[in-house]
Amino acid sequence: MLFNSFDFGLFLIVVYLLYWLVGSKQITAQNIVLLAASYFFYGLWDWRFLSLIIASSLIDYLAGRYLYSLHHPFKRKLVLWGSLFWNLGVLVAFKYYNFFVDNFTSLLGIENTSQPFMVWEVIIPLGLSFYTFQTMSYTIDVYRSNIKPTKNILAFLCFVSFFPQLVAGPLERAKSLLPQFLNKRNFNLEQSKEGLRQMAWGLFKKMVVADNLAIAVNAIYASPEDQGSLSLLYASCLFFFQIYCDFSGYSDIAIGSAKLFGFKLSKNFETPYLAKTAANYWQRWHITLTKWFTDYLYGPIVKSTNRGPISKALALFITMILIGLWHGANWTFVVFGLIGAVFITLERIRIPFKNKNYSLTEFLNKAPRPVSLLYMSILIITSSVFFRAPDVPTAMSILYKIIHFTTSQPFEFVIGAKVLVVPFLIAVEVLTRLKPYPLYKLQLHANKPLRWAIYYILIIIMIRYAGPKEQFIYFQF
């Protein structure tokens, strides 16, 4: 059930009415409606994997309760490692098994014979990386005594499976989201209106921008060997905006949907195309994932070492490579993460100049905007090529063509004037960058006729100029 489908709209209306009519008196009734809706939403994709998300929820719920009752350090570590073993084991089994086996057999030179080496072919459960990381963070936070475990199993099951952010985040921490399931939510018409406005902006980014850009990107990347430099450069630039509008659009819809039920989710994007450095880019892009890896991987690695520049660089490379691998079981994603690590490391190096030490970060922050724009374009285009290409050799071939500027093939300007929606989108988001989203508090800044004119124009554009319906890119992660 895609967020940009009629089915989801109907589903949301039914759940909204049940939630506020049936569950208006009690927290328990509200949570039962949400849990039933979340399991129904997830089960529509494949009901068999409901058992997996329920098992992960119960294991981490019990681990949290058990950790709180234990005081012996070794026993507490056993419980923590048991929880991590389950969660990471599920990820490896469903998402990375084939990747590791294929590379291991290639490394050992094992070839197919009359009885081929069988690799377990399995469907990756929807949203597996998201809800697994969410439950892991809960157990780790309880182990660190950052939070107390909840005794309310219904609230915890809702925390793990909350349908607006179940499939592709934002990655929520128990400290911020779980208490919201323990407190009564009262109906607030203004909050519902805000939720609908944010959903409308998210749908616009997904349906009008991302899905239309996908036409050009898919057409050119379908046969990169037949394309010239300009076409490949054009598609790689468009892909960045495609994936940004696709994923940030999903996040807006998720956050807006949550507001309909009285919940507040974390902000996941903050105009990443305005970043001047690679480090700042990752602070603005998929914010909740970056924060997760910083708190649970990068920080502990640095803390356990001498905290010097070498240990920080090592921790950075490990973290960024795993962030890349989190996106998918492919070497292209490993290289994608490695590119980010290289750029951030270069930005940290301090070079002596006129009796002072300067870093690339300081230079880029003070330099004219065209300088940082060129720098970030190199990073974004290079990263986009590896993120979008099916394998490393294809990605290298595309970059080779772009760098050497091959002009033997004609430039294919796919979808033409519809690309103009990108600068329009950027202009609107830049002008409203201090707000959670462009339509935020519109009733405070525009009279009723103007507000409704904007709503109708947005709806007409979405109906008239929506691209072919595409699945959200981050659903596969």
Catalytic residue numbers, as ranges: 327
Could you tell me which residues come within 8 angstroms of residue 301 by beta carbon, excluding any fewer than 6 positions away? 311, 314, 315, 318, 319
Q: Could you give the CA distance from residue 206 to residue 173 in angstroms, rounded to a whole number?
A: 26
Cα–Cα nearest to 389, from 247, 225, 211: 225
Question: Which residue reads 């870093």 in tokens?
Answer: 359
Helix axes of 392-404 and 369-388: crossing angle, nearest 10 degrees? 140
Number of H helices, E strands in the chain: 23, 2
The half-sphere exposure of 67 on its side-chain side, counting CA atoms within 13 A, is: 27
Residue 149 CA to its chain's centroid (Å): 26
The helix (run of H) or strand (run of E) holding residue 3 is none
Asked if 232 contacts 238 with a C-beta cutoff of 8 angstroms, the reply is no
Q: List the alpha helices (DSSP H) in 71-188.
A: 73-91, 97-108, 128-143, 153-161, 163-166, 174-182
Q: Could you give the CA distance from residue 181 to residue 28 in angstroms, rounded to a whole number?
A: 9
Cα–Cα nearest to 45, from 13, 18, 5: 5
The half-sphere exposure of 21 on its side-chain side, counting CA atoms within 13 A, is: 6
Greatest CA separation found in the chain?
A: 75
Asked if 114 contacts 102 with a C-beta cutoff of 8 angstroms, the reply is no
Strand partners, 359: 350
